């Protein structure tokens, strides 16, 4: 058990579970983009550890950029996606993969996809380590690479936070209710 702010969390996914999911995502990307170059776009802050691990499993040519959004306050999605840090790079005619730590309602991803599609990339795919499919409110999101489908409970660790804290744990923990 760990404590983050006022909440208790219990272990849910081990380092080994996470590493297997990361490798499976990277295997898919390596196979799909063999001989091509991709631009990874990581959604900060939560995806910073995930993207570092995925990138080290890639054998294709790749570059990385970071963007920053905010939709959560504490343990609840506000449904209102703010872009806090944008992208300088020209996306036209590039293969883009958006990397998310977790897709919950899908609001963040839907908003990001709208923005990215307007920039006319050669292709646009999404990789997420975690998916709360029971919480998903958007149909037809292109979830091309999904690590692990988890129940609709708040999680921390491996880059994921509860109000800024809890990101440092190598395993993923689930809120105890």
Nearest to 52 by CA among 144, 177, 167: 167
* CB-nearer residue toward Mg ion: 18 or 29: 18
* CB-nearer residue toward ligand XMP: 33 or 108: 108
With H, G, I as helix, E, B as strand and everything else as coil, classify residue 151.
coil
- The residues binding ligand XMP (CB under 6 A) are 43, 46, 71-72, 77, 100-109, 154-156, 160-161
* Region binding Mg ion by CB under 5 A among candidate stretches 41-49, 73-81, 106-114, 127-135: 41-49
Q: How far is the CB of 79 from ligand XMP (least distance, A)?
A: 8
Residues with a known catalytic role: 104
Q: How far is the CB of 81 from Mg ion (least distance, A)?
A: 12
Residue 128's binding partner among Mg ion, ligand XMP, none (Cβ under 5 to 8 angstroms by kind) is none
* Region binding Mg ion by CB under 5 A among candidate stretches 9-17, 38-46, 57-65, 114-122: 38-46
* CB-nearer residue toward ligand XMP: 24 or 77: 77
* CB-nearer residue toward ligand XMP: 33 or 126: 126
* Polymer length of the chain: 177
Question: How far apart, in whole angstroms, are the C-alpha atoms of residue 25 and residue 73?
Answer: 29
Please, what is the Cα angle at 143 between 131 and 151, to 5 degrees?
A: 15
* Region binding Mg ion by CB under 5 A among candidate stretches 26-34, 39-47, 75-83, 142-150: 39-47
Q: How far is the CB of 148 from ligand XMP (least distance, A)?
A: 12
Residue 53's binding partner among ligand XMP, Mg ion, none (Cβ under 5 to 8 angstroms by kind) is none
Residue that the structure tokens 């395993």 belong to? 171
Q: Please give the span between the terminal C-alpha atoms of the chain, in angstroms, as a whole number.
A: 13
Token readout for 87 is 């992208």
Token readout for 52 is 């570092």
Please, what is the Cα angle at 111 between 165 and 159, to 5 degrees?
A: 20
Q: How many CB atoms lie within 10 A of CB 152?
A: 10
With H, G, I as helix, E, B as strand and everything else as coil, classify residue 59.
coil
Q: Which residues lie near Mg ion (CB under 5 A)?
A: 46
């Amino acid at each position: 058990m760990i404590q983050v702010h006022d909440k208790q969390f219990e272990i849910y996914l081990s380092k080994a579970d996470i590493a297997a999911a990361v490798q499976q995502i990277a295997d898919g990307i390596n196979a799909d983009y063999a001989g091509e170059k991709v631009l990874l776009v990581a959604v900060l802050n939560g995806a910073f550890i995930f993207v570092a691990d995925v990138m080290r499993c890639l054998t294709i040519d790749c570059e990385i950029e970071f963007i920053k959004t905010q939709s959560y306050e504490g343990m609840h999605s506000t449904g209102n996606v703010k872009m806090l840090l944008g992208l300088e790079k020209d996306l036209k005619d590039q293969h883009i993969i958006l990397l998310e730590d977790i897709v919950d309602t899908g609001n963040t991803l839907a908003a990001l996809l709208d923005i990215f599609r307007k920039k006319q990339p050669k292709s646009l795919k999404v990789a997420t380590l975690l998916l709360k499919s029971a919480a998903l409110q958007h149909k037809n999101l292109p979830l091309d690479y999904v690590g692990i489908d988890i129940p609709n409970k708040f999680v921390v660790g491996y880059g994921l936070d509860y109000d800024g804290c809890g990101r440092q744990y190598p395993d993923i923990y689930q809120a105890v209710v």
